Amino acid sequence: MTREEIKSLVRRVVEETEVIDIHTHLFDPSFGKLLLWGIDELLTYHYLIAEAMRFLDMPYDDFWGMSKREQADLIWETLFVKRSPISEAARGVLTTLNKLGLDVSKRDLNAYRSYFESVKLEDYIDRVFELSKVKYVVMTNNPFDEEERRVWLEGRREDPRFKPALRIDPILTDWERTSGIMRSWGYDVMERVEPKTAAEVRRFLNEWIDRMKPVYMAASLPPTFRVPCDEPASILMEEAVLPVAEERKLPVAMMIGVKRSTNPHLRVAGDSVGKASIDSIEYLCRNYPSVKFLLTVLSRENQHELVVAARKFRNLHIFGCWWFLNNPSIVEEITRERMEMLGWSFTAQHSDARVLDQLIYKWAHSKSIIADVLTDKYSDLAETGWVVSEEEMRRDVRMLLGGSFEEFLKMKL
């Protein structure tokens, strides 16, 4: 095949391949208002709030005092009307509207609003999964979030397209406060992590694993996260999380490098990035060979060393171009170095979607870049005389978009 023939075949195969989205903040309808969707939620995505605030001199609290609709109007005016929406998050809104069949050239926000007001949620969810070709998403389920906790305790109606993940940040990043909350729930835990406290945290984790049946346990961790050390996070990781992970054969997902509330005035939009310790990740993989670690790190500077670490440990599966990395220029760079050193044994992307409709743009944008990289890689193979069939391409691309993840889950380590 010529390069052009390879390019068009690769694009079609990537476009048609179903996706498993292994980390999102989406919720199925049984969680009520926690499921965000529609144009006003798209426009008030915290990425766009941060970007709009750079052009606004209004007091932060005036913005936060506005209604969702007023915030969306202001962001539309600031990033789309007064300036061309070229940032990744702004362009994403337009990609979603366009793929839904709305006329983006009209720039008519109220016409878009009428469309969203006209759809029935259940039908709309089907349409979003159909357009984005997502087979299922993994949610972020936090038992310490009051609203969400209530749904779990009442018992939720399961939707196979939305799989649970047990999110345990509060245990690993804010033990002082979290130990108080767990004591109020009847767990005999102390701030100082003694064996009894570790046992009670294991009881808590086991109870929520029984309740949620999660795909994995997950935590977002700061750049300062270190194991081993005498911090509560390190002790709780080794004395509570990992023993339960081993016993329940449940992977542990760690997302490392978030500097929370760098600018507290921006609230959910105020987090920044810092370099993670790959030494700590290697320590965990080396000392817990039967635990499966899913890893993504937030700093671009960490990416190469994380790929090298993955070459050393088959119980380390790296995934996604997370958050500040989910931009075309960096997705391309990261995908190339992963493919060049790991072949197919990684998961190229996750959406991190917070708003249901984002699945449409986040996967359209990522697939386009993955297709470009694969065109080069298959062309390089063709130059040696190695011919890859369409069926083999479909097998390969399935690996990158969730297949490797599911194989990793099945491995007997």
Enumerate binding residues for Zn ion (CB under 5 A). Answer: 352
Give the CA distances from residue 85 to residues 62, 102, 352, 407, in Å, rounded to whole numbers and listed in that order: 24, 17, 21, 39
Cα gap 361→87, rounded to integer Å: 13
Query: Min. distance of Cβ 81 from Zn ion in angstroms?
Result: 30
Q: Which does 354 bind (CB under 5 to 8 A by kind): Zn ion, ligand HDL, none?
A: ligand HDL
Using CB under 6 A, which residues numbered 96 to 115 contact ligand HDL?
Answer: none
- Residues 282-321, mask of contacts with ligand HDL (x by CB under 6 A): ----------------------------------------
Q: Name beta bridge partners: 252.
A: 217, 293
Tell the smallest beta-carbon distance from residue 92 to ligand HDL (Å): 12
Nearer to ligand HDL, 313 or 323 (CB): 323
DSSP secondary structure of 199-268: HHHHHHHHHHHHHH--S-EEEEE-TT--SSSSSHHHHHIIIIIHHHHHHHT--EEEEE-EETTSSGGGGG
CA dist., res. 168 & res. 26, Å (int): 17
The values of phi and psi at residue 318, to 5°, are -95, 150
Q: What is the spatial distance between Cα 170 and Cα 355, in angstroms, rounded to a whole number?
A: 23
- The mark string for 125-164 relative to ligand HDL (x by CB under 6 A, - otherwise) is ---------------x------------------------
- Whether residue 60 contacts residue 266, with contact meaning beta carbons closer than 8 Å, is answered with yes
Q: Which one of 165, 215, 240, 255 is in contact with ligand HDL (CB under 6 A)?
A: 255
Spatial distance between the Cα atoms of 153 and 160, rounded to a whole number of angstroms: 19
Instruction: Give the nearest distance from C-beta 114 to ligand HDL in angstroms.
Output: 28
Burial class (CB in 10 A: 0-12, 13-18, 19+), 106: exposed
Query: Residue 339 binds which one of Zn ion, ligand HDL, none, with CB within 5 to 8 A depending on kind?
Result: none
**Which is nearer to Zn ion, 31 or 76 (by Cβ)?**
31
Residue nearest to ligand HDL (CB): 220
- Binding flag, residue 220, ligand HDL (CB under 6 A): yes
Give the residue with the Cβ less far from Zn ion, 41 or 352.
Answer: 352
Contact 223, 254 (CB under 8 A): no
C-alpha Rg value of the chain to the nearest Å:
22
CB of 150 to ligand HDL, least distance (A): 21
Shortest Cβ 47–Zn ion spacing (Å): 12
Selection from ligand HDL, Zn ion, none that 280 binds (CB < 5 to 8 A by kind) is none
Nearest position to Zn ion, beta carbon: 352
**Please, what is the minimum distance in Å from the beta carbon of residue 255 to ligand HDL?**
6
Closest CB to ligand HDL among residues 227, 298:
298
8 A C-beta contact, residue 273 and residue 298: yes
CB of 405 closer than 8 Å to CB of 347: yes
Q: What is the secondary structure of 301-361 as a DSSP string?
A: GGHHHHHHHHHH-TTEEEB---GGG-SHHHHHHHHHHHHHHHTT-SB------SBTTHHHH
Nearer Cβ to ligand HDL, position 41 or 396?
41
Q: Residue 396 touches which of ligand HDL, Zn ion, none (CB < 5 to 8 A by kind)?
A: none
Question: To the nearest whole angstrom, how small is the minimum distance from the Cβ of residue 385 to ligand HDL?
Answer: 42
The least distance separating Zn ion from the CB of residue 25, rounded to whole angstroms, comes to 6
Pick from ligand HDL, Zn ion, none: which does 324 bind, CB < 5 to 8 A by kind? Answer: none
Binding to ligand HDL (CB under 6 A): which residues in 318-357?
A: 323, 352, 354
Q: Is 38 helix (H, G, I), strand (E, B) or coil?
A: coil
Of ligand HDL, Zn ion, none, which one sits near residue 372, judging by CB under 5 to 8 A according to partner kind?
A: none
Task: Closer to ligand HDL by CB, 38 or 92: give it.
Answer: 92
Tokens of 190: 């102390």
Partner whose binding site includes residue 124, from ligand HDL, Zn ion, none (CB under 5 to 8 Å by kind)? none
CA 343 to chain centre: 22
Return the number of the residue (25 or 156) whose C-beta is nearest ligand HDL: 25
Closest approach of ligand HDL to the CB of residue 46, in Å: 6
Q: Are 247 and 291 in contact (CB under 8 A)?
A: no
Judged by beta carbon, residue 7 or residue 350, the one nearer ligand HDL is 350
Give the interface with ligand HDL as residue ranges (CB under 6 A): 25, 140, 220, 255, 258, 323, 352, 354
